[in-house]
Structure 1
Amino acid sequence: MYSFKNDYSEGAHPRILQALVETNLIQEDGYGGDQFTQKAIELIKQHIGNDDVDVHLLSGGTQTNLIAISAFLKPHEAAIAASTGHIFTHETGAIEATGHKIIAVDTKDGKLTPAHVEQVLNDHPDEHMVKPKLVYISNSTEIGTIYQKEELIQLSETCKKNNLLLFMDGARLGSALCSKENDLELSAIPSLVDVFYIGGTKNGALLGEALILCREALKEDFRYHMKQKGALLAKGRVLGIQFQELFKDNLYFELASHANEMAEKLNNELKKEGFSFLTASPSNQIFPIFSNALIKELQTKFAFHIWEEVDKEHSAIRLVTSWATKESEVVAFVEAIKGRAL
């Protein structure tokens, strides 16, 4: 059975495994003081084109989100997120467990707009309610959509006007930036957001996210927050080696491009067969709508998530491709659904 459930089913790109083996017996300082982490940080800053940011390597997305958001907010402050946002739907109340409310907003495409933010601010006018302080977005979103540059500019301007922090979850940032519909450059992001991260877990690394602090006021004492919440790894080299390998050339973007190409092939072939989609996704997640009977058949050969019920006879499923997805398996999936559109 082949899995389209997620983009972290496989281990890591062979170059990363090779680098881990080759450096295994080199003795290094712990907690990110090793040469590999320092080189990785240097390379990331070069790719971003900004030396003024702080870069911290953490093990996973939920850990990164909860440490960053709890570090930046005062006890009475809250985060704004789309109702499909990862911090609201798939992190077991991690943000709330740190004492901060998430104000969820229903959106049609998983993306927040200035109008959404302004409405939340209007609905929270005084000290009898939590104070909205941070706007959380994902790029790509949980339903595969991406932010265009102008959309991010407008959101950024709204946040600056209202003294709000803008935080971009980049667990799948590689896929977003390598999408054929994308017009946002990695180098433009630091000027538009206060903090973001570059996801490695879902793009060829064994594990790891690179958190980028862009606003000066957020940098102070951040390693204290990491240590207190168990994220300052003694063997920080494990993260550093991986990000050094991903960013010493264009490997990070090559892996994301492959994932997108496989998703695009699936998307195009399903459209040719007459299937419709829950959402228009230009990234490595697609959401076709199948009959429940067809879904049951497909589950004997492929693993995937049933995303939501469309009606009594049909459901949307999520197909996720990765840096390691085999084109032959994409072809096999297409063959299994040929002639089955209703």
Structure 2
Amino acid sequence: MISFKNDYSEGAHPQILEALLTSNVVQESGYGEDSYCQAAAEILRKKLGNNAVDIHFLAGGTQTNLIAIAAFLRPHEAAIAAHTGHIFVHETGAIEATGHKVLTAEVKDGKLTPAHVEEILNAHTDEHMVKPKLVYISNATEVGTIYTKKELRLLSEFCREKKLYLFMDGARLGSALCSAGNDLTLSELPDLVDAFYIGGTKNGALLGEALVLCNEELKQDFRYHMKQKGALLAKGRVLGIQFLELFRDNLYFDLATHANSMAYKLRDGLKEAGVSFLSESPSNQIFPIFANEVVQELKESYHFEIWGKVDERHTAIRLVTSWATKEEAVTAFVKDIRRILQPQ
């Protein structure tokens, strides 16, 4: 079976595994105070062109979202997200479990705009309701779309005007930044958002996310929040080593570029076969629509996620490519689609 189910089915890039093995018996301090985490944070600050940001390494995306949002908000404050947002749909109520409500806006393309946020602000007017304080966005979004520089700047300016924190989920930030049509750079993000993270789990690392705190208000006591919620790893070096390898040269962006190129090859092949799509995604997630019987036939040879019904006879599926996706796997899928849809 070939899997297009997600971008974390494989382990880690060999360069990372080699670095973990080479450093295995080196004795280091714990809890992220080791030389590897310090070196990785320094490299990231150089890539960001910003020495003032705080950088913390955490194990996974849900953990990062949970700890960050819980730390940023006071008890009566709430987060705003798209109705497709990961914290609303796929994190088992993790944010709500900390006592913070997630307020959602219906969006067409996975992206929030100032108008979406303003509508929610206008509906929450006094102390009898939760107070919206944080805007959560994902880049790339859960439906594969990306924010342009203009879109992010407009949202950033609006949030600052309204005294809202802007927090970017970067689980697939590598794919977003390497996407066709992207005009954002990594170094521009600290000026546009209050906090964001650089996803390693879905871009070649064994595990790990690098959380970047840009706003001074959010930095104080953050390690206390990490420790209290079980995220201050005794062997934090494991995370630092991986980000050191990902950003020592250009590996992080090379891996994201490969994942995207495999998605484009897959998308173009399906378009040539007459397949339509649920969204126009420039990232490593694509959402083709097939007749229900075609989906059932594909399940015999491929793993993928059912995204949802389009109508009674058609279903959208999600295909995700990764740093390790082989071109032969893409070619095989396209060939099978042509065989199924265009029988001789």
Q: 2 CA distance for matches of 1:268 and 1:183?
A: 22
Deviation at 1:217, TM superposition (A): 0.9
1:257 aligns with 257
| 1:134-161 Cα distance to aligned partner (Å, 9 max, x none) | 0000000000000000000000000000
Deviation at 1:340, TM superposition (A): 4.2
Alignment of 1:147-226 (within 5 A): 147-226=147-226
Deviation at 1:181, TM superposition (A): 1.2
Amino acid at match of 1:254: D
Task: Please say if residues 273 and 339 of structure 1, whose CA atoms lie closer than 8 Å, have aligned partners that are also in contact.
Answer: no
Alignment of 1:1-342 (within 5 A): 1-338=1-338, 340-341=340-341
Q: 1 CA distance for matches of 2:266 and 2:338?
A: 12
Q: 2 CA distance for matches of 1:275 and 1:235?
A: 47
Q: 1 CA distance for matches of 2:105 and 2:116?
A: 7
Gaps of 5+ in 2: none
Tell me the SS of whatever aligns to 2:140.
coil
Tell me the SS of whatever aligns to 2:276.
coil
| 1:276-330 Cα distance to aligned partner (Å, 9 max, x none) | 0001100000000011111111111100001000111110000000000000000
Task: Please say if residues 7 and 202 of structure 1, whose CA atoms lie closer than 8 Å, have aligned partners that are also in contact.
Answer: yes
Amino acid at match of 1:178: C
Deviation at 1:341, TM superposition (A): 4.4
Tell me the SS of whatever aligns to 1:243.
helix
Tell me the SS of whatever aligns to 1:11.
coil
Q: 2 CA distance for matches of 1:230 and 1:179?
A: 34
Task: Please say if residues 201 and 209 of structure 1, whose CA atoms lie closer than 8 Å, have aligned partners that are also in contact.
Answer: yes
Amino acid at match of 1:114: P
Amino acid at match of 1:302: Y
Deviation at 1:268, TM superposition (A): 0.6
Deviant stretches of 4+, over 2 Å: 339-342
Tell me the SS of whatever aligns to 1:289.
strand
Q: 2 CA distance for matches of 1:125 and 1:280?
A: 36
Deviation at 1:339, TM superposition (A): 5.2
Amino acid at match of 2:196: F
| 1:81-113 Cα distance to aligned partner (Å, 9 max, x none) | 000000000000000000000001110000000
| 1:216-251 Cα distance to aligned partner (Å, 9 max, x none) | 111000000000000000000000000000000000
Q: How many pairs are equivalent?
A: 342
In the superposition, the TM-score normalised over structure 2's length comes to 0.99
Amino acid at match of 1:200: G
| 1:193-217 Cα distance to aligned partner (Å, 9 max, x none) | 0000000000000000000000011
Deviation at 1:5, TM superposition (A): 0.3
What root-mean-square deviation, in Å, do the aligned CA atoms of Structure 1 and Structure 2 show? 0.8
Deviation at 1:28, TM superposition (A): 0.3
In the superposition, the TM-score normalised over structure 1's length comes to 0.99
| 1:163-210 Cα distance to aligned partner (Å, 9 max, x none) | 000000000000000001100011110000000000000000000000
Task: Please say if residues 290 and 341 of structure 1, whose CA atoms lie closer than 8 Å, have aligned partners that are also in contact.
Answer: no
Q: 1 CA distance for matches of 2:340 and 2:51?
A: 53
Q: 2 CA distance for matches of 1:140 and 1:185?
A: 13
Amino acid at match of 1:168: M
Deviation at 1:33, TM superposition (A): 1.1
Tell me the SS of whatever aligns to 1:338.
helix
Amino acid at match of 1:322: S
Tell me the SS of whatever aligns to 2:225.
helix
Q: 2 CA distance for matches of 1:325 and 1:291?
A: 25
Q: Identity, % of aligned pairs?
A: 70
Q: 1 CA distance for matches of 2:208 and 2:181?
A: 26
Task: Please say if residues 73 and 133 of structure 1, whose CA atoms lie closer than 8 Å, have aligned partners that are also in contact.
Answer: yes
Amino acid at match of 1:289: I
Q: 2 CA distance for matches of 1:53 and 1:277?
A: 39
Tell me the SS of whatever aligns to 1:255.
helix
